Structure formats: C-alpha cells, structure tokens
Amino acid sequence: MIDSTQDNLFYRNKYPEFVFDSYEVNFEPEAIKVEYVYTLGEHTFKPTVTIPTTDISNEELDEDFLSYLFFNFGIINAINYYKLTIAPKFVIKAGYIDDEQKLFFKKLFYHGLGEFLYVNNLPFDYNSLVEIESAPIDPDNVPEFEVGEGYSGNLIPVGGGKDSVVTLEALQPMHPDNLCFQFNRNIYPENQAALNCIKNAGYRTSDIANFNLTLDEHMLELNKEGYYNGHIPFSSCLAFAAYITAYLNKKANIVLSNEASANEGNIAGTTINHQYSKSFEFESDFQHYVDRYFTSQIHYFSLLRCLNEYEIVQRFIRHPIYLNIFRSCNVGTHENKWCGHCAKCLYVFIMLYPFISLDKLVKIFGGNLFEDASLSNTLVGLVRPDITKPFECVGTKEEINYCMTLAVNNTQDELPVLLKWYKDNMYNPNIVYNVENYYNPEHHIPDEYLQLILNS
C-alpha cells in the first residue's frame, strides 16, 4: 500500500481533468468497429471495440440507438484510463448525459473503485472523488430511437466457472432460444475453460456472440511508470457490453450468474466490495438505468441471486462432467489451469472438499491445498470475521467456515496443516450456520426462471 502522504496525490494534482473526447462507430462488411478517444493531459488513449457481423442477427438495427449504446459503454470503459490518476473532474465531450445519469456513473465509479482506492490509500469519499461534466444537449436535435419489437430468448455470459455452469444447465429447457456470450474471446482466446463449458452444454461456436475490446498499450506503459493501477468494476463493463450484444441479437434477457454471496463486502464496517458490480445493488441500479435511458424490452438479472455459494456448489456437483474443465482461477486463466496458490483456488477447494473425493480434488488442483502452509494467511482472511477478506470473488465467511467445519468432520486421517490450524483455532461444532437450504428473496428473477433454478 502506498504511504498516505501528499505525494500519493501527485498524479491527481497533476491531471485535474480526464476527458472522454469522442467515439466513432463504423459499419464495415465484416464487423462493427468503434474507436474511442480519451485524453489525460498530454496522454491520448484509443481503445477499440470490434463485433463480427456474423455475431449479429438483428436485421432492424437503429444505428442512432446503437451509437448511443456505444457512447454509454465508452463512459464506463473510460474507468480503465481514468484510474491512472483519479482526476477530480471527468469531462464527457463525446455526448450529453443528464443529472440522473451523472449520479448513476458517479455512484458506480465510487463504489466500483472502492477496493482500488483502499489498496492505493486514496481516502476519497463519495462527494470528493469525481465531478462529472458533459457536453450540452442540443434541444433541436434530441434523438428518438426505434428499438423494434420481437425480443425473445436469453443471452448467457459464460466465464468458465462453476456459477455459469449452473446457469447453463438450469436453462437447458430453453436451449434453442439461448445465445452464449463471451467477452474478448477473439482477442484473448486463452479462456479455454469458458469455451469448453459452452460446448459441453451442447452449444456450437455459432451459438456464441463475441464483444471484443482492446486496451490501449499506452495505459499499460503508464502503469509500469508508477501511475495508479488496480481493480476496476469489470462486471459493469461487461453489463454494458452484454446489453449491446443483446440488442444486436434481439435477446429479451441477459441472464447473469451472480449469487447472493456477492453482496458481502471485504472489510467489515465499510462499503468496500471486490464484487460490487456483481452485487444486487448494482444489478438494480443498472436495470433502472437501462429501462430509463435505453429500452424496457431487455431485462438484466442474475439467475443465481436467490442462492448462496453453498447452494450453487450443490447444483454444480450434480454435473460432474464439468469438474475437469471448469476454471475460476484468474492467475491461471491464460494457461487454462488452477494456479493452486491464490485465494480463489483455496476457496473453491474448500467449497468442494466435503463433497468431492480427495483424489479427484488433487487431480483438479494439482495437489492437496490443505497441505500448503504458504496458504495459511489466505485461509485466515477467508474465515476470520475480523480480518479483511481476500479481494477475490469468493463466498461469505459463514459459508466458508461451514465447509471448513464439514472438512474437519469428514477427514478420517491425520489432518493436513490448514485443517489442523482451523480445528485448533476456529473449529466450533456448536455453531449453527444458516447456509444449507438458503433462499434469498431479494432478486429480480422472473417466476418461470425462478422455478428452473430452484428445481435444477
């Protein structure tokens, strides 16, 4: 963590404005291509979006509406570059947004960058982080959009982990009307796990829609020079990208795989949540935003919001054919493997341990993670309520403690080092955990879909 001194604000003080200058949408025979231009003082960034025309089935596109969708994507995508300096003012010259829209993005930037601000020791509150300005609206040229009718079926984002597998399997009765979605598969094909899961669920390559985004290399160079770097609310970028893709294919629903456990923050007593853009709060805000400013014909909801991670695991293990192909480890993504040394690997290992044979787990993860003493501090963060939870997409501490208790109870041989530590320091068989048969009523799941997931 950077020292809390005035020097820590050097880049913010040097660059008072971050500017979203412009964007250009080009309709080419083989793809829709969009170029964005952002400026930060003497620095210019030009990321691009490419969507193959083979991944588009909507024959009634309103180009003005699509351009407006890309404009909005440009605002959230800007966070990749805005975070370099956390400029006090974000100026949108590329188009107009009203005060309500500014509040939506201000809230998203603040909470979505909560972990980033904490790790970089940038102690800004909601009001002081950023002021958003936009170009004025031309009252004589207010756009009117024709979004068409006949939306149906589901767009299913697939990341290759257990959660999206559960969603894929629950939606099998709707298989003919489903379209899978991958972010950056054409640019970064290393996420083989997602493709393997999609094909294992019975979908073809032609059943996958792609949204490809390049990052400007200059941003990466500035990161190496010491400009601010860290976690952004990637799932919010994914939300806008998925919405554009749903419109391009006239899909009525964007069906996420975010669970109730994503609502729990990482630091007790704060709003800092690594999974903020997977939370129910963001889901609700985003749906309100798109209903208000885009169209009410496309619905954004998580099929798994009624479940916790424990219940998702129970559904996942009913499909053992995925055990050898699913992956959730960010470190090992490019090599399609579990690294075996990160919080995500240890977490998934813990959740599966009571229900999968040790031999099978060792084959999946490359070893018995409970025997790795180097993961001791990681385990402490996962289970102790007074310690910061690792900044990863992991379940609640209650769920993890419950599965650790089951692990201790179910291990007949001598306990490996991490289980022994847990038994000596945390284990309490008298604690009642509210984990099994969990149901979260706070969700936006339509009744038809709710029955599918509850009965899966």
pLDDT, tens digit, 9 for 90 and up, residues 65-91: 999 999 999 999 999 999 999 999 999
Region of residue 230 (left: phi > 0; alpha: psi -120 to 50; beta: else):
left
How far apart CA 66 and CA 78 sit, in angstroms, is 18
Please state whether 250 falls in left (phi above 0), alpha (psi between -120 and 50) or beta.
left
Grouping H, G, I as helix, E, B as strand and the rest as coil, residue 17 is strand
Quote the pLDDT of residue 190. Answer: 54
Q: Give strand pairing partners of 24.
A: 35
What does the chain come to in residues?
456
What confidence score (pLDDT) does residue 265 get?
86
Query: Is 303 in contact with 280 (CB distance < 8 Å)?
Result: no
pLDDT value for 1: 36
Name the pTM for this structure: 0.95
The number of CA neighbours under 13 Å toward the Cβ of 290 is 27
Q: What is the pLDDT of residue 186?
A: 54
Tell me how far apart the alpha carbons of residues 335 and 329 are, in angstroms, rounded to a whole number. 10
The gap from C-alpha 456 to its chain's centroid, in whole angstroms, comes to: 23
Q: Which residues of the chain have pLDDT under 50?
A: 1-5, 187, 189
The gap between the terminal CA atoms of the chain, to the nearest Å, is 44
The radius of gyration of the chain from alpha carbons, rounded to an integer in Å, stands at 23
Q: What is the DSSP letter of 317?
A: T
Which of 166, 167, 144 is closest to 156 using CA atoms?
167
Q: How far is the C-alpha of 369 from the C-alpha of 413, rounded, in Å?
A: 16
pLDDT value of position 108:
97
Q: What is the pLDDT of residue 162?
A: 96
